[in-house]
């Protein structure tokens, strides 16, 4: 079973920041928080991952609370092409471990 | 990143027949993963395929229904056997690289 809970769906206005929350209250000390997204009819795409420090890349920022029981993925300027299902996954950062996908959050970016 | 090519991208099959899905990776990987995504659902792991050994299946999936081959470090196949309409799903292969997972574009299977 997935170890994360996310809202089923969210809306965001185009050009605004999209903040997607994720709860992972049972996360273990050696588990990372990963974010993937799946645009309709495509395979999941890696966005970002982190252990305890906040992370930023060209796609998004990941904010992890100090107790690591929750996190937020931030898309700073959402576009229509960011409409997708976003999956928050916790996983040990070892090669060969599969990802356990929950239902994710369906983000709709509105014009 | 990893480039993963899956074939076919989609197919419509008659019930009772079998379909073999191919997954080709642009470089050698030890483990490959096969997932199923039923309509409107999230991804579920079917099995993990190591080169040179039998695949490891998750609960609810059996080798007779989903035989997997892994003849070398860049290629794997998944067969969906004796298909029924309940097998209509997207099937995806995945590999790990630098602790990130990369996915193929999936095979959209419709069984009629």
Q: What's the whole-number mean pLDDT along residues B56-63?
A: 95
Please, which pLDDT band fits residue B98 given cuts at 50, 70 and 90? confident
Is the pLDDT reported for residue B2 higher than 80? no
Please, which pLDDT band fits residue A1 given cuts at 50, 70 and 90? low
pLDDT given for residue A99 in this prediction: 85
B57 neighbourhood in chain A, CB within 8 Å:
none
CB contact under 8 A, B44 and A36: no
Is the pLDDT reported for residue B72 higher than 80? yes
Is the pLDDT reported for residue B7 higher than 70? yes
B76-91 pLDDT tens trace: 999 999 999 999 999 9
Q: Which helix (H) or strand (E) holds B93?
A: strand B89-97
CB hemisphere CA count around B73 (13 angstroms): 5
Q: In A17-51, which positions are buried (b, 16+ CB within 10 angstroms) versus exposed (e)?
A: ebebebbbeebeeebbbbbbbbeeeebbebbbbbe
Least Cα distance to A46 among A2, A86, A80 occurs for: A86
A59-103 pLDDT tens trace: 999 999 999 999 999 999 999 999 999 999 998 876 667 788 999
Alpha-carbon gap, residue B82 to B65, rounded angstroms? 7
A8-49 pLDDT tens trace: 999 999 999 999 999 999 998 889 999 999 998 789 999 999
Pairing of strands B31-37, A18-23: unpaired
Show the tokens assigned to B24: 């080709």
Q: A55: Cβ–Cβ under 8 A, 6 or more apart, which residues?
A: A48, A49, A61, A62
CB contact under 8 A, A94 and B99: yes
Alpha-carbon gap, residue A52 to B7, rounded angstroms? 39
B41-59 pLDDT tens trace: 999 999 999 888 889 999 9
Q: What is the 3-state secondary structure (H, E, C) of B32-80?
A: EEEEEECCCCCEEEEEEEECCCCCEECCCCCCCCCCEEEEECCEEEEEE
pLDDT given for residue A79 in this prediction: 97
**Partner B, chain A 27-86, Cβ-Cβ below 8 Å:** 32, 36, 41-46, 49
Residue A18 vs residue B98, higher pLDDT: A18
CB contact under 8 A, A95 and B96: yes
What sign does the dihedral A40-A41-A42-A48 (CA atoms) show? positive
């Amino acid at each position: 079973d997935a170890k994360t809970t996310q809202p089923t769906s969210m809306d965001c206005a185009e050009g605004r920041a999209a903040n997607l929350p994720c709860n992972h209250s049972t996360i273990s000390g050696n588990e990372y928080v990963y974010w993937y997204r799946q645009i309709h009819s495509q395979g999941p795409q890696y966005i970002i991952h982190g252990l305890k420090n906040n992370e930023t890349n060209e796609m998004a920022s990941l904010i992890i609370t100090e107790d690591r029981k929750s996190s937020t993925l931030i898309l700073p300027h959402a576009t229509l092409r960011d409409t997708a299902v976003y999956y928050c996954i916790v996983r040990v950062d070892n090669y060969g471990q599969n990802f356990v996908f929950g239902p994710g959050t369906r983000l709709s970016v509105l014009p | 990143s990893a480039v993963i090519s899956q074939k076919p991208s989609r197919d419509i099959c008659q019930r009772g027949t079998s379909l073999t899905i191919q997954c080709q990776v642009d470089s050698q990987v030890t483990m490959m993963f096969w997932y199923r995504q039923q309509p409107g659902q999230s991804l579920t792991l079917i099995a993990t395929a190591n080169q040179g050994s039998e695949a490891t299946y998750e609960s609810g999936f059996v080798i007779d229904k989903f035989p997997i081959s892994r003849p070398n470090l860049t290629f794997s196949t998944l067969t969906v056997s004796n298909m029924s309409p309940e097998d209509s799903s997207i099937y995806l292969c995945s590999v790990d690289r630098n602790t990130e997972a990369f996915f193929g574009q999936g095979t959209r299977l419709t069984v009629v």
